[in-house]
Chains A and B, each alone.
Chain A
Amino acid sequence: MSQWEVVIGIETHAQLSTVSKIFSGASTAFGAEPNTQACAVDLALPGVLPVLNKKAVDCAIRFGLAIGAHVSPKSIFARKNYFYPDLPKGYQISQFELPVVQGGAITVQVGSGEKAYEKTINLTRAHLEEDAGKSLHEDFHGKSGIDLNRAGTPLLEIVTEPDMRSSDEAVAYAKALHALVRWIGICDGNMQEGSFRCDANVSVRRPGQPFGTRREIKNLNSFRYLKDAIDYEVRWQIETLEDGGKIQQATVLFDPDTGETRTMRTKEDAHDYRYFPDPDLLPLVISSDWMARVQGELPELPAQKRQRFMSDLGLSAYDASTLTASQEIADFYESTVTVAGADNAKPCANWVMVDLAARLNKEGKDIAESPVTPEQLGGLVLRIADNTISNNIAKKVFEALWNGEGATADEIIDKQGLKQITDSGAIEALVDEVLAANAANVAEYRAGKEKAFNALVGQVMKAAKGKANPQQVNELLRKKLSA
């Protein structure tokens, strides 16, 4: 495998969170009875005309600004012509030669812990277009049903350069993009409902060689499928090439049940979409005033927040990236720091990234559903910082907070008597007791076995029911043993 390089580019369709459709006044709400949210324009009755929804343009501008792209002052809507029953006009209104967003980049964190690295994915473009309706092949014996509720729903198609080199990078990008579009409020990110779906263009090559022939995996609506589909496709392409075969340019579908991709159509039967500028729509002109208005409405962006976490709170790049992976995590973290104070920014980061994340993960919960509030967590960090409790005890308090055993860390510490023993007399008594009862460990330690020391610390902590200040225990033990 090592002599093959994987090349991946991703196209994402993000459904924009507008109340009405991109070219008509019909509602975009999900899940209505078939064809109840399709007006004359969506049905493509004879004579109807599209009128651009400016809110969809706001979304595109927001996105362009958020990724540092060129928001084109003039862009063109074009018709992409093909016949399909769920495409009422016989063409899709999209953007082709002059898209509204050009260039830009997203920097993502790939992997975790020590192996984590940063990668910048360049974007080619992002353009506005309308979604098609849905063909329903079940429930109609020998016939197909058409639901045009989704027809005309605004989409932003976001296209990257072929910059990703592994399925992990692809997933990291998709997750970062997913977080970003939600962060800036242009897409609800609901992947089950199809609000955010990815197509992956995958090819392999020998390092240093030109790009191989790519195959496009369509409509991946979960990060898991994205990874599995790319991994399968990469294996398949390498095997094919190593067996002396050739890759044909094709569009493929991923079957989550079998974990395999299968060819939908090859280049030979690719459409000629006969793109041309839509004469029903004027060029989209975005004035500097419009840009400035949208700029003013933008929240602090993940990249800006990440920078601030590093410069103002002294977090590492990795921590700052992890804590800005989504608006919810960032908000949670910032609220925690507000309570615990900037001096405790690092322990707050650890609690959110490690303990809280693990607990949430175990329960399959989202951070927005965390039973422990940022205020509670901040209060807990404060008690660690002022030595009221040790880190170990803090884990107990956290668990108690999670289980709703008290309203604050202080209340739980009080109620459950978890306050740390810092009285050196009391600790000394415990140390003496342990040393007397564990002569074997003492002997081992003196014979040079450091491990024996840890066992002794453990015994003291056990005797203190975990509440002794660990640092004091350490110091006292060392002192007594070296005496």
Chain B
Amino acid sequence: MIYASVKELSQALAAKQISSVELTGLFLDRIERLNPEINAFVTVDRQKSLKMAADADARIAAGQAGPLTGVPIAQKDIFCAEGWLTTCGSKMLSNFVSPYDATVIRKMHAEAGLVSLGKTNMDEFAMGSSNETSFFGPVRNPWDRERVPGGSSGGSAAAIAARLAPAATGTDTGGSIRQPAALCNLTGLKPTYGLVSRYGMIAFASSLDQGGPMAASAEDCALLLNTMVGFDERDSTSLDRPAEDYARDLEKPLAGLRIGLPKEFFGEGCDAEVMAAVQAAIQEYEKLGATCVEVSLPNSHLSVPAYYVIAPAEASSNLSRFDGVRYGYRAPEYGNLDDMYMKTRAQAFGAEVKRRILIGAYVLSHGYYDAYYLQAQRIRRLIANDFVEAFKACDVILGPTSPSTAFKIGEKAADPVQMYLSDIYTIAVNLAGLPGMSLPCGFAGGLPVGMQLIGNYFDEARLLNVAHRYQMATDWHQRRPDGLA
């Protein structure tokens, strides 16, 4: 059961082959045993989880179950969940028990009946690509404990890879679902901006943040996405669209599919073995009936610089509410008000968060705003237009997710720019607001390699179809790390 897919688990629950309480217990036991090695979860609450599982069982018994009722899932600790410690990986919120549910949490738990196994570790306030910036310590990659799982949704990724959970939620501001999925041999989807409500998802960069599912397969992601999306009147950037079943086209044949290969993604800067795995995947797609066309994203080299203006600008303002006044950490000793602010924020934010707040405050300041923030916004529009042009010639875009496989803990921690470059292929997707996913496509030096699929706006069903057909033909996504009994 531990290795069953979300789909198989839902079928087993519906057929009453296992109860949600039993299933949840299995995963909780495994978390208890293995989490100390992996550090994927920051909060586990057995009683709460089992209570949710019992409620799910009651729903199943009463015939009121939805497709995923009773399936356990891990929640990234960026989502506020009523009565749960919600830390966002920060000392600042290390004592914050949320009094309310994020919309995603409400939809998945109260509506769909999924059962929360706990809250997963993450880079502090989702700022990082390695999970090393967490106040709760680095997460270890189940494929190699000396290596990072990627970030910021590294806890969610490691939890699934170590099979501490069958699936998890993540959030993706510049690659935070896709890059850890790639580094941990998982499938993860960042939906079109506005599809999943941001209400209750602690904001990093509001115009880029988007929640999405992470699981072992595209099929599982489709089922999870069905429970997460929907218009939310509490989020002004939420899109009011008719509901759709993201699993509906999973098995559609790929004959006639046009795959765009951006020449900028196949040049220098990518590890050769990673590139080889991606090239092999392209050949596999051709076998499946797709045709490949070269496309160009001429401004993609500007995406990292533009992102590191826009995201810190928004973050510097979003994180102002953490001031020690109403909730969260407050410095134990301070003089006047300004001293309270300074000590509180100096003590409770980590180095990366401080770095981004400083950059953000700088690019928004008087005299610099036009040169940085406005310029970055112009570049953002150019990047979005590049994709509009590219999608005139293709249906999906394919390339590597990350230029390298999982790197060693500490390897890039001292060099923020190197760290930022690990999101070089994913960031443009957030700037354009497009859906993107990562799925396993091979190994390099025994470590997983992910490929990225980018779709047009609202084309999640097609992306999942393209990923699923590949997963029907290959077994990369079914490989498991050794040494995890």
A, B in one complex: yes
Binding site for B on A (CB under 8 A): 40, 43-52, 79, 81, 83, 85, 88-91, 146, 272, 274-276, 279-282
Find chain A residues with CB under 8 A from B323 CB: 83, 85, 90
- Is B233 an interface residue, CB under 8 A from the partner? yes
Given A50-B236, A83-B320, A282-B237, the answer on whether A40 and B341 have CB atoms closer than 8 Å is no
Q: Give the docked Cα–Cα distance between A272 and B361 (Å).
A: 10
Query: Which of A44, A49, A276, A280 contacts B321, CB < 8 Å?
Result: A44
A88/B321 in contact, CB under 8 A: yes
B326/A88 in contact, CB under 8 A: yes
Query: Which of A89, A276, A280 contacts B364, CB < 8 Å?
Result: A276
Query: Which of B80, B234, B365, B369 contacts A46, CB < 8 Å?
Result: B80
Q: Smallest CB–CB gap between B238 and chain A, Å?
A: 9
Q: Smallest CB–CB gap between A387 and chain B, Å?
A: 68
Interface size on B, residues (CB 8 A): 44
Find chain B residues with CB under 8 A from A280 CB: 203, 206, 236-237
Q: Smallest CB–CB gap between A149 and chain B, Å?
A: 14
- Is B298 an interface residue, CB under 8 A from the partner? no
Of all chain A residues, which has the CB nearest B92?
A46
Of all chain B residues, which has the CB nearest A144?
B337
Q: Smallest CB–CB gap between B373 and chain A, Å?
A: 6
Given A52-B236, A83-B323, A272-B366, the answer on whether A46 and B206 have CB atoms closer than 8 Å is no
Find chain A residues with CB under 8 A from B326 CB: 43-44, 88, 146
A81/B80 in contact, CB under 8 A: no
Given A276-B313, A279-B207, A280-B237, the answer on whether A46 and B199 have CB atoms closer than 8 Å is no
Find chain B residues with CB under 8 A from A46 CB: 80, 86, 88, 93, 96, 98, 202, 321-322
Q: Smallest CB–CB gap between A249 and chain B, Å?
A: 15
Find chain B residues with CB under 8 A from A52 CB: 236
Q: Interface readout for B356-368 with A: 1 if CB under 8 Å, 0 if not?
A: 0000010011100
Q: Would you list the 10 A-B pairs with minimal beta carbon distance, nearest first?
A: A90-B320, A274-B364, A279-B206, A279-B207, A47-B200, A44-B321, A46-B202, A47-B80, A47-B202, A272-B366
A91/B237 in contact, CB under 8 A: no
- Is B284 an interface residue, CB under 8 A from the partner? no
Q: Smallest CB–CB gap between A246 and chain B, Å?
A: 24
Q: Smallest CB–CB gap between A148 and chain B, Å?
A: 8
9 contacts between A and B (CB under 8 A): A44-B326, A46-B80, A51-B234, A81-B316, A85-B323, A85-B325, A276-B373, A280-B206, A281-B236
- Total number of residue pairs linking A and B with CB closer than 8 Å: 96
Find chain A residues with CB under 8 A from B289 CB: none
- Is B235 an interface residue, CB under 8 A from the partner? yes
Of all chain A residues, which has the CB nearest B205?
A279
Find chain A residues with CB under 8 A from B325 CB: 85, 88, 146
Q: Smallest CB–CB gap between A35 and chain B, Å?
A: 10
Q: Give the docked Cα–Cα distance between A407 and B53 (Å).
A: 77
Interface centre among A47, A50, A274, A276 (most CB of B within 10 A): A47
B99/A40 in contact, CB under 8 A: yes
Query: Which of A40, A89, A279 contacts B320, CB < 8 Å?
Result: A89
Of all chain A residues, which has the CB nearest B197?
A49
Q: Interface readout for B79-95 with A: 1 if CB under 8 Å, 0 if not?
A: 11000001010000100
Of all chain A residues, which has the CB nearest B87?
A46
Q: Give the docked Cα–Cα distance between A46 and B82 (Å).
A: 12
Find chain B residues with CB under 8 A from A146 CB: 325-326
Find chain A residues with CB under 8 A from B207 CB: 279
Find chain A residues with CB under 8 A from B341 CB: 83
- Is B100 an interface residue, CB under 8 A from the partner? yes
- Is B266 an interface residue, CB under 8 A from the partner? no
A81/B93 in contact, CB under 8 A: no
Interface centre among B93, B314, B321 (most CB of A within 10 A): B321
- Is B334 an interface residue, CB under 8 A from the partner? no
- Is B229 an interface residue, CB under 8 A from the partner? no
A91/B320 in contact, CB under 8 A: yes
Given A47-B199, A47-B201, A274-B364, the answer on whether A90 and B236 have CB atoms closer than 8 Å is no
A49/B320 in contact, CB under 8 A: no
Q: Smallest CB–CB gap between B323 and chain A, Å?
A: 6
- Is B102 an interface residue, CB under 8 A from the partner? yes
Query: Which of A43, A88, A276, A281 contacts B369, CB < 8 Å?
Result: A276
- Is B178 an interface residue, CB under 8 A from the partner? no
Find chain A residues with CB under 8 A from B314 CB: 279
Find chain B residues with CB under 8 A from A91 CB: 317, 320
Q: Give the docked Cα–Cα distance between A51 and B100 (Å).
A: 17
Of all chain B residues, which has the CB nearest A83?
B341
A276/B98 in contact, CB under 8 A: no
- Is B163 an interface residue, CB under 8 A from the partner? no
Q: Smallest CB–CB gap between A254 and chain B, Å?
A: 24
Which residues 298-356 of B have a CB within 8 angstroms of A?
313-314, 316-317, 319-323, 325-327, 337, 341
Given A49-B236, A51-B233, A274-B361, the answer on whether A81 and B327 have CB atoms closer than 8 Å is no
Q: Give the docked Cα–Cα distance between A50 and B234 (Å).
A: 7
Of all chain B residues, which has the CB nearest A38?
B326
- Is B198 an interface residue, CB under 8 A from the partner? yes
Of all chain A residues, which has the CB nearest B93?
A46
Q: Smallest CB–CB gap between A195 and chain B, Å?
A: 26
Q: Smallest CB–CB gap between B234 and chain A, Å?
A: 6
A282/B236 in contact, CB under 8 A: yes
Further contacts, 16 of them, CB under 8 A, given A275-B369, A279-B205: A40-B100, A45-B99, A45-B100, A46-B80, A46-B98, A47-B80, A47-B198, A47-B202, A49-B199, A79-B317, A88-B321, A89-B320, A279-B206, A279-B314, A280-B237, A282-B236
Q: Smallest CB–CB gap between B370 and chain A, Å?
A: 11
Find chain B residues with CB under 8 A from A282 CB: 236-237
Of all chain A residues, which has the CB nearest B101?
A47
A272/B365 in contact, CB under 8 A: yes
Q: Smallest CB–CB gap between A151 and chain B, Å?
A: 11
Q: Give the docked Cα–Cα distance between A329 and B206 (Å).
A: 50
Of all chain A residues, which has the CB nearest B100?
A40
Q: Interface readout for B183-218 with A: 1 if CB under 8 Å, 0 if not?
A: 000000000000000111111011100000000000
Which residues 229-273 of B have a CB within 8 angstroms of A?
233-237
Q: Give the docked Cα–Cα distance between A89 and B319 (Å).
A: 8
Find chain B residues with CB under 8 A from A47 CB: 79-80, 98, 102, 198-203
Q: Smallest CB–CB gap between A440 and chain B, Å?
A: 84
Q: Give the docked Cα–Cα distance between A52 and B316 (Å).
A: 23
Q: Smallest CB–CB gap between B89 and chain A, Å?
A: 12
Q: Smallest CB–CB gap between A154 and chain B, Å?
A: 16
Of all chain B residues, which has the CB nearest A90?
B320
Q: Smallest CB–CB gap between A140 and chain B, Å?
A: 14
Q: Give the docked Cα–Cα distance between A83 and B93 (Å).
A: 19
Which residues 358-406 of B have a CB within 8 angstroms of A?
361, 364-366, 369, 373
Find chain A residues with CB under 8 A from B86 CB: 46
Find chain A residues with CB under 8 A from B93 CB: 46
Given A88-B321, A89-B320, the answer on whether A51 and B236 have CB atoms closer than 8 Å is yes
Of all chain A residues, which has the CB nearest B364?
A274
Q: Smallest CB–CB gap between B340 and chain A, Å?
A: 9
B321/A89 in contact, CB under 8 A: yes
Find chain A residues with CB under 8 A from B79 CB: 47
Q: Give the docked Cα–Cα distance between A48 and B313 (Å).
A: 19
Q: Give the docked Cα–Cα distance between A275 and B368 (Å).
A: 12
A81/B317 in contact, CB under 8 A: yes
Find chain B residues with CB under 8 A from A85 CB: 323, 325, 337
